[in-house]
Amino acid sequence: MNCKNCNKILNDTQKYCDECGAKVIQNRLTPKVLAIQVNQEFLSLDNKFLRTLICLFTTPEDVIGGFIDGTRKKYINAITYYAISLTLLGFQMFLLKQFFSEFLEPQFEAFKETFKVSGTGNNNPFANSADFFSNSQGIFFSVLMPFIAIGTWLIYLDKRKYNYTEHLVINLYITAQTIFVNFVVITIMAVFNVFDYLIASIIITPPLILYGAYIFKRLYNLSYINSLIRYIGAYIIYTIVFSIIMVIILVIAVIYLFATGKLNI
C-alpha cells in the first residue's frame, strides 16, 4: 500500500503516513464519510477552524508563532484561514446587497461624491466605483497585504525576531481574524438596522487596531502601550507607501482617460 499524497510505501496497519503525516483513507467516499469529514473539519467543538478562531484571541502566539516555528497540523495554516475569511467576506456582501441594501446606501453615496466628475451613467468612468469596490474587497485586501507587512516589518526591525515573510504570515492571520469579527458585528448591525455600513466600519476599526497591537504584544513579549504605538506607526508607514503608489496609479489612469476622451472636466 502506498500513501496517496507522497507515494511512500506504507504498512497495512499504518493509520498515518510517517513521511508526510497524511491520514490513511481506505473507505470509499460516501455521504456518511463526507458528513463525518465536514463535522470533523468545521462543526465539531474540537475542529481546526474553531480551535484556530478561539486561540487567535486567547493564545495567538501559539497559533501564529507555532505556525512560523513549524507547527502545521494543530491549527489551520495562514493562507487557508485567510482564504476562508475572504469567502465569508464575499458572502457577507452578497447578503447585504440582497437583503439590506439600505445599509450599504451611504457607502455608495460617499463613493459617488468622492469620484464625482462631469457626466453621468455610461459617460462617467467612476459611476460604478462603489459596486466595483464592494465586489472586489478580497482583491483589495490581498493587494494591501504586502504593504501592511512592510509596515510591521520595518517598525519591528530593531527586534530582529521575524523576517518579512513571517510578518506576511502574521498579518494574514490578523486580517482574517478581523474579517471574521467584522462579519459578525456588521451582520448584527444590519439585521437590527443600527447605523449603516460606513459608520459601522468606522466604529469597528479602533477595536480591530487594538486587537492587532495585542497580537504583536503576545508575539514580541512587549508592553501593550509599546505594541500599540508600534502598530499605529506601522499603519502610518503602510499608508504613506500605499498612498504614494495609489497616487501614481491614479495619475496614470486619469491621463489615460483624458487621452482616450473618456474623461472630461
AA letter at 144: L
Q: What range does the domain containing 172 cover? A: 77-259
What is the C-alpha to C-alpha distance for residues 249 and 142, in angstroms, rounded to an integer?
Answer: 17
pLDDT at 250 over 90: no
Indicate the residue type of 259: A
* Distances 122 to 84, 95, 126 between C-alpha atoms, Å: 35, 27, 9
Give the total number of structural domains in the chain.
1
Taking residue 179's Cβ as centre, other Cβ atoms within 10 Å add up to: 22
Q: Which residue shows C-alpha cell 489612469?
A: 253
Question: Is 19 a member of any domain?
Answer: no
Share in percent of the chain as helix, strand, coil (round to 5): 70, 0, 30
- What's the pLDDT score for residue 258? 75
Q: Is 226 part of any domain?
A: yes
State the cell numbers at 153.
Answer: 516589518
Q: Is position 20 within any domain?
A: no
Residue 129 placed within a domain: yes
Answer yes or no: is 171 within a domain: yes
Beta-carbon neighbour count of residue 219 at 10 Å?
A: 20
By the 8 A CB rule, do 238 and 150 touch?
yes
pLDDT digits (tens, 9 = 90+) for 4-46: 677 777 777 777 777 776 677 766 667 776 777 766 665 554 5
pTM: 0.75
Asked if the model's pLDDT at residue 63 lies above 90, the reply is yes
**pLDDT (tens digit, 9 = 90+) per residue, 68-85?**
988 877 889 999 999 999
Domain membership flag for residue 184: yes
Is the separation of the CB atoms in 203 and 182 below 8 Å? no
User: Residue 203: is its pLDDT beyond 50?
Assistant: yes
